[in-house]
Every structure is written in C-alpha cells, then in structure tokens.
Homo-oligomer: A and B are copies of this chain.
Amino acid sequence: MARRSDHNREELYALAMQAARDIAVHDGLKGLTARNIAKRIGYSAGTLYNLFKNLDEIALHVNAGTLDQLHDRLGEVALSGKPKKDIRQLLDAYLDFIGGNDRLWSLLFDHKLPDGTPLPDWYRARIARVLSLLEAALAPLFPEPDHPECQLSARVLWSSLHGICQLANADKLEIVSDEDTRALAHALVENYLAGLKARLG
C-alpha cells in the first residue's frame, strides 16, 4: 500500500531520483516507468507526478546527474597545456567512466524528448559544462582564445566518441573487445588533433 506523509517534498524528491537512477542502472530506459519508480519507494505514481511534470523530466534529471558525475571525473584530469596529452587523458577517463556506468551512459543518449520539445536550459548548461573541459584542453591548439573551431572541435570529438562507443557496445562494427573500442577512439583523437595542428600550425 502506498505510504503517505512519511517524507517531506525534498526527501521524496531525493528518494524518487535515487530509485530512478537505480532502475536506470539495472534496466535502462525501458525499466524507467512511473509505476516502477513509485513501487520502489512505496508511494503511488500520483505522488510522483506531484514532484515531476512527467517521465521525461525524471529521465532528464537522471541524465543531469550522470553528466555531473562525468564532469567531476573528467575534471580530475590535471591539464598540462599539451593538447594531445590532455585529450588522451580525458579520453581514457571518459572510457573508464562509461565502462563502469554503461547503462547510465546509454540512457544519456537513448532518452529523447518528444519531437519539437527543446532541452531545458538547465540541462544544456550541464552539457556545456562537460564540453568546456574539452575546450580547455584543446585551446592551446588555436591562435586565440574563443576561436570558433575550438568549440566546434569539442563537439565533434564528444559526439564522435559517443558514436564509437555506442556502435562498439552494440557490436555493430564487427568489433568485440574493449581494446578495439579504445583503438578507434585513440585513432579519432590522434588524427583529428594532428589535422588541426597541420591546418592551423
């Protein structure tokens, strides 16, 4: 039976988010239903909808938490000012992170808002915060700070790595081992950076 009044709004929110995250870790997007979350915390689905507008909002909050974790993990890399070295270190930290959080990482990209619904600004800010770490590592390659190709390159690398890891995960590239995924990711970074250097240097 659903509990009532055992928790205040903040406590309930924290409980629901933790439950949503646990479900995402175990079952991915398909397990993430209001019913499952409610059941896990012993409240009704109706109570959840007092806290969240809809399931998309819950998924966005789970994803924001994953982006924050990834940001903190990548933020531990001390930048040396040598882009090749720094990007390689960020890449390895990224691969380690998604290796240990594969379902959460998948949810980050599998969850899509309905067509025409823009991502909320607070969520975009979380993505921008992760991308800014890549931009900082790439910056020494460019003649001036805020060079437009620096932002562009951070986005190219971020989305390309996503594609490599996703296809390798689903074994859609005739690839089986983690080593092969790393080889593709390293080839991406090595050639992309060598290209930037050759073009701009």
With contact pairs A166-B163, A195-B198, A198-B194 given, residues A172 and B109 touching in the complex (Cβ less than 8 Å) = yes
A155 contacts partner chain B, Cβ-Cβ < 8 Å = yes
Determine how many copies of this chain the complex contains. 2
Residues of B with C-beta under 8 A to A199: 190-191, 194
Interface residue SS majority, chain A: helix
Contact partner of A159 among B149, B158, B173, B192, CB < 8 A? B173
Q: Which of A30-84 contact B (CB under 8 A)?
A: none
Instruction: Please give, as numbers and ranges, the residues of chain B lying within 8 Å of A196 by CB-CB distance.
Output: 191, 194-195
Q: When chains A and B are docked, how far (Å) is the Cα of A128 from the Cα of B164? A: 16
Partner of A195, one of B124, B170, B183, B191: B191
- Counting contact residues on chain A (CB < 8 A from B), the size range is 35 or more
Q: Which residues of B contact A147 (CB under 8 A)?
A: none
Inter-subunit contact B194/A119 (CB<8 Å): no
A152 / chain B contacts, CB cutoff of 8 Å: 183-184, 187
